[in-house]
Amino acid sequence: MTSKAFNPFDMAQAQFDRVADVLDLDKATRDLLRYPMREFSFAIPVRMDDGCVKIFRGFRVQHNDARGPCKGGIRFHPQETLDTVRALATWMTWKCAVVDIPLGGGKGGVICDPHNLSMREQEAICRGWARAMAKNVGFATDVPAPDVMTSPQHMVWMLDEIEAMHGHKEPGFITGKPVGLGGSLGRTEATGYGLIFTVREALKEMNLKPSETTASVQGFGNVAQYAVRLFQQMGGKVIAVSSWDQEDQISYTCRRLSGVDPDELVGIADRFGGIDKAKARPLGYEVLPAEAWIEQDVDILMPCALENQVTAENVGRIKPRVKMLAEGANGPTTPEADKVLAERGIFNIPDFLANAGGVTCSYFEQVQGNMNYFWEKDEVLGKLDVKMTAAFIAVSEIARRQKLYMRDAAYVVAVSRVAKACKDRGWV
Ligand code: NAD
């Protein structure tokens, strides 16, 4: 979340400025891409369970739609700000472009805390958000999805409201719906699997097989669990995962040098991916401090929990054997740590490429919804592999050809695709 000291939109603009210099973009293109194309800020009046009316503030930002309808989640958060939503919408533009799906970037939010709201009140906020945005969202304009503290249930309420207003079914209007009500098979696996598809391609470039490598993972939630599963199916070994202990309010690392078993760990984890350490010990896991995950003597580190986890303070603890950092989480590496990783020659798969499997599968959900024809899971995951592999190869080729760090190469690929679309349309 944002604070007075840190403004994520300033950061998104600074990142863009750097790439714009590398690409030598003209002034009009810079002026267009530095800011969102459209922004909506609106009131959502809700009659609360106690009878009073409370006004919630909702947002939607459509950063750029030159490559297709905007795409991005809706967050419910008490500290939501328009600048946070602007930054996240900008990053969605680059994420959709780097995986080459025909979508632009959007993001939405409501200032609220679902912990303090009944389900009926949350439903009223969702329906209010949909009513406020009804003329400016849709499968051909802007497609929302779940995000922080919103769920498939919230998406279904919004879909229902939009369909009631438009007078027809419109399943491609929103993604992240439950399977059976317009959701796509494979969405649960998509981000973790997508991460491992890019790891597999990076290992190929290093002439390594997954079966010759070991990994340590931060987090054991949706992204981490499926990443661990697929990496181990490919023959790799994960020796450590970390998670957040809700009871003790600290995180710690579970290590088993013979390899962790994700199914066994899911059996002793809460629904937020917090592993019960008392149950882990008898299964042969050592319980180590929070940051032990980064200090393991492995080939690959996968931060899959939170932002700002690989920092100037702990980057020096990364062992010499580590060859790759694959960023499942959003923004896990600070710019200072990034510099050290680049100097040490540790290969980076940057977040907006590495974790783009989720949005790619959401795009598949939208496509299936528009056709009203749903694919088998293998077909979804096969198409995901094709997209992620192609995206990785495109970025790594630019990195090699232009001697760029992978994060910079990913930005170059994404921003140049969006800039070209704006130019081809005659906007700049
Ligand atoms: P999640 O809530 O399912 O899991 C988060 C995990 O992190 C849990 O295991 C939790 O115990 C652990 N955790 C929390 N605080 C921790 C700490 N301080 N130290 C160690 N572990 C901690 O979340 P997720 O969906 O797996 O998302 C993880 C990251 O991936 C986030 O940055 C998210 O924005 C990003 N991401 C997720 C998706 C997706 O499809 N789920 C897509 C793109 C990006």
Q: What is the mean pLDDT of residues 241-256?
A: 92
Q: 220-233, pLDDT tens digit by residue? A: 999 999 999 999 99
Confidence at residue 376, expressed as pLDDT on a 0 to 100 scale: 98
> Per-residue pLDDT for 6 more than 80?
no
Question: What is the rounded CA–CA span in Å between residue 29 and residue 421?
Answer: 11
Q: Do the domains at 35-170 and 188-349 have one common CATH topology? A: yes
Nearest atom, ligand 1, residue 351 CA? 44
The average confidence (pLDDT) of the chain is: 95
Q: 396-409, pLDDT tens digit by residue? A: 999 999 999 999 99
> Per-residue pLDDT for 3 more than 80?
no
Confidence at residue 7, expressed as pLDDT on a 0 to 100 scale: 87
> Per-residue pLDDT for 355 more than 60?
yes
Q: 158-182, pLDDT tens digit by residue? A: 999 999 999 999 989 999 999 999 9
Find, among 381, 372, 360, 305, the residue nearest to 145 by Cα.
360
Nearest CA to ligand 1 atom 28: 305
Position 157 confidence tier, pLDDT thresholds 50, 70, 90: very high
> Per-residue pLDDT for 2 more than 50?
no
Position 4 confidence tier, pLDDT thresholds 50, 70, 90: low
Active site residue 107: yes
> Per-residue pLDDT for 272 more than 90?
no
Percentage of the chain modeled with pLDDT above 70 = 99
Q: Spot the catalytic one: 95, 107, 277, 387.
A: 107
Q: What is the mean pLDDT of residues 46-52?
A: 98
Question: What is the rounded CA–CA span in Å between residue 141 and residue 68?
Answer: 8
* Dist. CA 273 → ligand 1 center (Å): 8
Confidence at residue 5, expressed as pLDDT on a 0 to 100 scale: 62
For residue 61, give every residue at least 6 positions away whose Cβ sits within 8 Å of its Cβ, in sequence order, or none. 36, 38, 39, 40, 82, 85, 86, 88, 89, 106, 107, 108
* Dist. CA 84 → ligand 1 center (Å): 19
Q: Tell me, what amino acid is at 165?
A: M
Confidence at residue 245, expressed as pLDDT on a 0 to 100 scale: 87
Report helix angle 82-98 to 406-424, nearest 10.
Answer: 90
The length of the chain is 428
* Dist. CA 137 → ligand 1 center (Å): 28
Q: Which residue has the higher pLDDT, 120 or 247?
A: 120
Confidence at residue 383, expressed as pLDDT on a 0 to 100 scale: 98
> Per-residue pLDDT for 121 more than 80?
yes
Q: How far is CA 362 from the centre of its chain?
A: 11
> Per-residue pLDDT for 1 more than 80?
no
Nearest atom, ligand 1, residue 358 CA? 40
Question: What is the rounded CA–CA span in Å between residue 276 and residue 397?
Answer: 43
Nearest atom, ligand 1, residue 328 CA? 30
Ligand 1 surroundings by CB, under 6 angstroms: 191, 218-224, 242-244, 251, 272-274, 290, 304-306, 328-330, 355, 358
Measured between alpha carbons, how far apart are the two ends of the chain, in Å?
A: 33
For residue 179, give every residue at least 6 positions away whose Cβ sits within 8 Å of its Cβ, in sequence order, or none. 185, 187
Rg from Cα positions in the chain: 21
Choice from 148, 243, 276 to test ligand 1 binding pocket (greatest atom count within 8 A of CB): 243
> Per-residue pLDDT for 247 more than 90?
no
CATH of 188-349, one of 3.40.50.150, 3.40.1080.10, 3.40.50.720, 3.50.40.10: 3.40.50.720
Q: What is the mean pLDDT of residues 35-59?
A: 98
* Dist. CA 25 → ligand 1 center (Å): 35
Nearest atom, ligand 1, residue 225 CA? 26
Q: 286-302, pLDDT tens digit by residue? A: 999 999 999 999 999 99
Q: What is the mean pLDDT of residues 31-53?
A: 98
What's the CATH code, domain 35-170?
Answer: 3.40.50.10860
> Is the dihedral angle over the CA atoms 123, 129, 131, 135 positive or is it negative?
negative
**Which alpha helices (H) appear in 274-376, and where do they start and end?**
277-280, 335-344, 351-354, 357-371
* Dist. CA 252 → ligand 1 center (Å): 14
For residue 24, give every residue at least 6 positions away whose Cβ sits within 8 Å of its Cβ, in sequence order, or none. none
Nearest atom, ligand 1, residue 191 CA? 40
Domain ranges of the chain: 35-170, 188-349
* Dist. CA 292 → ligand 1 center (Å): 17
Q: pTM of the full predicted structure?
A: 0.94
Choice from 229, 244, 270 to test ligand 1 binding pocket (greatest atom count within 8 A of CB): 244
